[in-house]
Chains A and B, each alone.
Chain A
Amino acid sequence: MDHKNPNFEIFGIVFNASNILMLFITCLIVFLIAVISTRNLKVKPTGMQNFMEWIMDFVKGIIKNNMDWKTGGRFHVLGITLIMFVFVANMLGLPFNIIYNDYLWWKSPTADPVVTMTLAATVVILTHFYGVKLLGAKGYFKTYLQPMPFLAPLKIIEEFANTLTLGLRLYGNIFAGEILIGLLATLGASSAFGLAGALIPALAWQGFSIFIGAIQAFIFVMLTMVYMAHKVDTDH
């Protein structure tokens, strides 16, 4: 599992070419799925439009569980994009990893902690942004004093803990899945005996990884909305 990242440097900033590639592919797939399924919109939905509407209603349900739709409606687009993005990103590393010249090129972008932490931090920063925007600066700072003023330090720690757990949970699940698939693949490639032994576990683990990928995407969006609700809902 010790593969190098194909890094390059522009203006003193190090970019990871593999991340750029995989994020681009993820975005491309999500965009194509979304655009193809909403290309021929009808009031009476058919085929892929049904699927997309199901996802929309699903995310709407998540948001409605946490806050009322009047405040939550603005996060709908964020939620749908996030769930599709994370799910597709989780799936990308499942069928194979591509390692070229000892550089890891093809993997799940969410198997990189920087990517998941960035997503988590973006979400948490957004919650602060909307907290200030919807409640005003006074209302925003008031949330730190609730329910008890002396809990304020814990509240501040909670913000960092939320970010960390949100990002690292996703990273850990996907990275662990990829490691195990990598191990099984190595075992399968070692000998015919190994192949026979690795085949069934590899299949099972891949199926399980699909499940994990979907669950993690759901959890990520769910927690996003929970954190968002903490910041924008006064009566929570």
Chain B
Amino acid sequence: MLENTLILLSANADAGFLAKLNDPDGLNLGSIITTVFFFTVLMLLLKRFAWGPLMGIMDQRAQLIANEIEAAEQSRLDSHKLLEEQRALLKEARENAQSIVDNARKQGETQREELITAARNEVNRMKESATLEIATEKEKAVAAVREEFVSLSILAASKVLGKEISEEDNRALIEETIVKAGESR
């Protein structure tokens, strides 16, 4: 096609002008071959040694950036999820703490009630036993006084009567009197 073009050109244009521009021998096939050869070789060499690796590294970068964006998105989602999780955990922990405190308070109250009841019972029991003891002691004291009184009465009576009476009979007599006197009182 180029030959056609150039022949067309040389037919139409001034031949002397073209001869000056071109090689005097007309179509310079050598230059055409040289140009095509050099350009093709240059392109193949550059593709092998320069453009290929450069395109590779640019693709690699694009890939890397895409990956990074994806990873960032992923980690954003992850952190969001973790945050939600943490929030839920915190809420749960707070509820737990609240319930523990409530339980403790309730337990303390119960315990207090129990202690108070126990103390009250103890006091009552002690009071009762003290009352009982006092009554017993009183009985004892009354019996002792009574005995003493009997003895004194016998002594006094024997002195007054001056008569020897058997102590056994007297005693029975006096005790009877005292019991009567006690009952009448």
Q: Are B64 and A38 in contact (CB under 8 A)?
A: no
Tell me the smallest distance from the CB of A51 to a CB of chain B, in Å: 11
Tell me the smallest distance from the CB of B60 to a CB of chain A, in Å: 6
Tell me the smallest distance from the CB of A42 to a CB of chain B, in Å: 7
Q: Would you call the interface of chain B mostly helix, strand, loop, or mixed? A: helix
Which of these binds chain A: B25-33, B125-133, B135-143? B25-33
Q: Are B39 and A125 in contact (CB under 8 A)?
A: no
| A96 CB within 8 Å of chain B | no
| B20 CB within 8 Å of chain A | yes
| B80 CB within 8 Å of chain A | no
Q: Are A31 and B2 in contact (CB under 8 A)?
A: no
Residues of A within 8 A of B (CB): 2, 5, 7, 10, 13-16, 19-20, 23-24, 26-27, 30-31, 34-35, 37-38, 41-43, 45, 49, 52-53, 56, 76-78, 80-81, 85, 109, 112-115, 117-119, 121-122, 124-125, 159-160, 163-164
- A53-B58, A160-B1 known; 15 new pairs, CB 8 Å cut-off, are A13-B30, A14-B30, A16-B30, A19-B31, A19-B34, A27-B42, A38-B51, A38-B53, A56-B51, A77-B47, A77-B51, A80-B46, A115-B31, A118-B2, A163-B1
Known: A14-B28, A115-B35. A43 touches B60 (CB 8 A): yes
**Nearest A residue to B21, CB-CB:** A113
The answer for the CA separation of A5 and B34 in the assembled complex, in Å, is 15
Q: Are A121 and B1 in contact (CB under 8 A)?
A: yes
Q: Are B2 and A163 in contact (CB under 8 A)?
A: yes
Task: Count contacts on B: residues with CB < 8 A to the other chain.
Answer: 42
User: Which of B5, B20, B27, B29 has the most chain A CB within a 10 Å cutoff?
Assistant: B5
Tell me the smallest distance from the CB of A26 to a CB of chain B, in Å: 8
The answer for the CA separation of A85 and B46 in the assembled complex, in Å, is 11
Q: Are B49 and A35 in contact (CB under 8 A)?
A: yes
Residues of A within 8 A of B30 (CB): 7, 10, 13-16, 19
Residues of A within 8 A of B57 (CB): 41-43, 45
Q: B37-81 CB contact bits vs A (8 Å, 1 = yes)?
A: 011011101110111011111101100100000000000000000
Q: Are B8 and A30 in contact (CB under 8 A)?
A: no
Residues of A within 8 A of B32 (CB): 114, 118
Residues of B within 8 A of A (CB): 1-2, 4-6, 8-9, 20-23, 25, 27-36, 38-39, 41-43, 45-47, 49-51, 53-58, 60-61, 64
Interface CB pairs A-B, < 8 A, 10 = A5-B23, A30-B46, A31-B45, A38-B49, A76-B55, A77-B46, A78-B43, A118-B35, A159-B1, A160-B5
Tell me the smallest distance from the CB of B97 to a CB of chain A, in Å: 51
Tell me the smallest distance from the CB of B1 to a CB of chain A, in Å: 6
Residues of A within 8 A of B27 (CB): 114
Known: A122-B39, A163-B1. A56 touches B58 (CB 8 A): yes
The 10 closest A-B pairs by CB, nearest first: A15-B30, A34-B50, A121-B2, A118-B35, A114-B31, A27-B42, A23-B38, A81-B43, A41-B57, A38-B50
The answer for the CA separation of A31 and B51 in the assembled complex, in Å, is 11
User: Which of B25, B51, B53 has the most chain A CB within a 10 Å cutoff?
Assistant: B51
Q: Which of A42, A113, A160 contacts B8 (CB 8 A)?
A: A160
Known: A119-B35, A125-B1. A34 touches B51 (CB 8 A): yes
The answer for the CA separation of A37 and B8 in the assembled complex, in Å, is 43
Known: A35-B49, A81-B46. A114 touches B54 (CB 8 A): no
Residues of B within 8 A of A159 (CB): 1
Q: Are B31 and A16 in contact (CB under 8 A)?
A: yes
The answer for the CA separation of A119 and B31 in the assembled complex, in Å, is 11
Q: Are B5 and A13 in contact (CB under 8 A)?
A: no
